[in-house]
């Protein structure tokens, strides 16, 4: 509706106006237009929502232009105006006519599509990670996946005792990497289970199974989580080690009261140390 309002479209696409027609609306004027023509009841105080939500992607895709791209106005100036890109206006003016397909082909040739632009950006922002086996993967950008990279390249090299990664997920691909052969061999539960940790690694020599959670916004190894995982691992032949990881101590402090006993904690900015929530079992090394 914000796009329609900017283009002065009330009933037909053929009515469309653009920057070439000097048709610029402020965010408050867009609200007024929507309320008057589309039966809306938007509060005049919601003008920031128009700018930050409704017009965010259309502006990024250059379907809608704003006057701050032509002059020196601040981006949060409420008097600046928005207009339809003349190229887009020319396209939709012919929607439903026999010229539509040709106009659409011409438009795509002239305009860099936002989807392609964002895809290139995602590729550039990928986080490379190298598994102990030498396999190279790419994780999506984000702090959670930065921590997963550190788990594989820093934690496992220090404390994994030669463990191989059997599973690692990604925010855009839950099953980015999995070694079904070894997982089945040790009797691991189905990867579709909701309690699946972020990284699973296996040390053959010690028969230890590392279940590692990368905590950014949720999900430490709590008492309930560990209880559920142990239930799922009843048929597993390996000895489970439950590990919660954090980027820094500040994040650790947020979740420390939720972490279960008989588990481990690793903090990425202090990579040579671990915190053991292990009670008597830990004291046995002093005997």
- The pLDDT tens digits for 93-117 are 999 999 999 999 988 887 766 667 6
- Read off the pLDDT band of 71 (50, 70, 90): low
Identify the pLDDT of residue 285. 57
CB 200 within 8 A of CB 211: yes
Average pLDDT of the residues of the chain: 87
Quote the Cα angle for 164-166-172, to 5°.
125
Q: What is the mean pLDDT of residues 12-23?
A: 93
Q: What is the mean pLDDT of residues 178-195?
A: 86
Q: What is the mean pLDDT of residues 234-260?
A: 94
Q: What is the mean pLDDT of residues 21-37?
A: 94
Nearest partner of 64 among 7, 148, 124, 134, judged by Cα: 7
Q: Is the pLDDT of residue 124 over 70?
A: no
Helix (H) or strand (E) holding 185: helix 180-185
Identify the pLDDT of residue 119. 62
24-28, 157-161, 187-191: which has the minimum mean pLDDT? 187-191
Identify the pLDDT of residue 74. 43
Identify the pLDDT of residue 284. 60
Higher pLDDT, 100 or 122: 100
- Read off the pLDDT band of 241 (50, 70, 90): very high
- pLDDT-above-90 percentage for the chain: 63
Identify the pLDDT of residue 75. 45
Identify the pLDDT of residue 176. 87
Identify the pLDDT of residue 39. 93
Q: What is the mean pLDDT of residues 57-80?
A: 68
Residues forming beta bridges with residue 240, ordered by sequence position: 209
Identify the pLDDT of residue 204. 93
Residues 6+ apart with CB under 8 A from 213: 197, 198, 219, 220, 221, 225, 243, 244, 245
Identify the pLDDT of residue 72. 45
Identify the pLDDT of residue 182. 94
Q: Is the pLDDT of residue 189 over 90?
A: no
The domains found in the chain, sorted by start residue, are 2-119 (1.10.10.1820), 125-286 (3.40.1350.80)
59-73, 81-95, 125-139: which has the minimum mean pLDDT? 59-73
45-49, 71-75, 235-239: which has the minimum mean pLDDT? 71-75
Distance CA(182)–CA(164), nearest Å, equals 10
Distance CA(193)–CA(216), nearest Å, equals 20
Identify the pLDDT of residue 77. 46
């Amino acid at each position: 509706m914000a796009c329609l309002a900017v283009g002065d479209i009330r009933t037909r696409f053929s009515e469309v106006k653009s920057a070439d027609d000097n048709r610029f609306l402020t965010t408050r004027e867009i609200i007024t237009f929507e309320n008057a023509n589309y039966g809306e009841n938007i509060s005049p105080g919601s003008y920031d929502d128009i700018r930050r939500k409704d017009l965010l992607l259309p502006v990024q895709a250059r379907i809608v232009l704003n006057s701050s791209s032509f002059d020196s106005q601040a981006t949060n100036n409420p008097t600046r105006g928005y207009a339809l890109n003349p190229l887009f206006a020319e396209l939709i003016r012919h929607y439903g006519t026999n010229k539509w397909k040709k106009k659409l082909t011409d438009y795509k040739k002239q305009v860099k599509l936002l989807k392609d632009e964002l895809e290139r950006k995602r590729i550039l922002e990928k986080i490379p990670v190298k598994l102990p086996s030498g396999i190279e993967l790419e994780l999506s950008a984000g702090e959670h996946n930065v921590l997963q990279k550190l788990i594989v390249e820093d934690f496992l090299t220090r404390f994994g005792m030669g463990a191989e990664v059997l599973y690692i997920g990604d925010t855009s691909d839950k099953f980015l990497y999995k070694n079904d052969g070894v997982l089945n061999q040790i009797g691991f539960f189905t990867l579709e289970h909701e309690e699946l940790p972020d990284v699973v690694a296996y040390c053959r020599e010690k028969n230890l199974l590392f279940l590692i959670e990368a905590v950014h916004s949720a999900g430490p190894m709590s008492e309930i989580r560990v209880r559920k995982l142990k239930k799922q691992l009843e048929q597993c032949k390996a000895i489970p080690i439950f590990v919660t990881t954090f980027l820094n101590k500040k994040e650790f402090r947020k979740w420390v009261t939720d972490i279960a006993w008989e588990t481990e904690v690793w903090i990425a900015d202090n990579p040579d140390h671990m915190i053991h929530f292990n009670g008597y079992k830990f004291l046995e090394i002093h005997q």
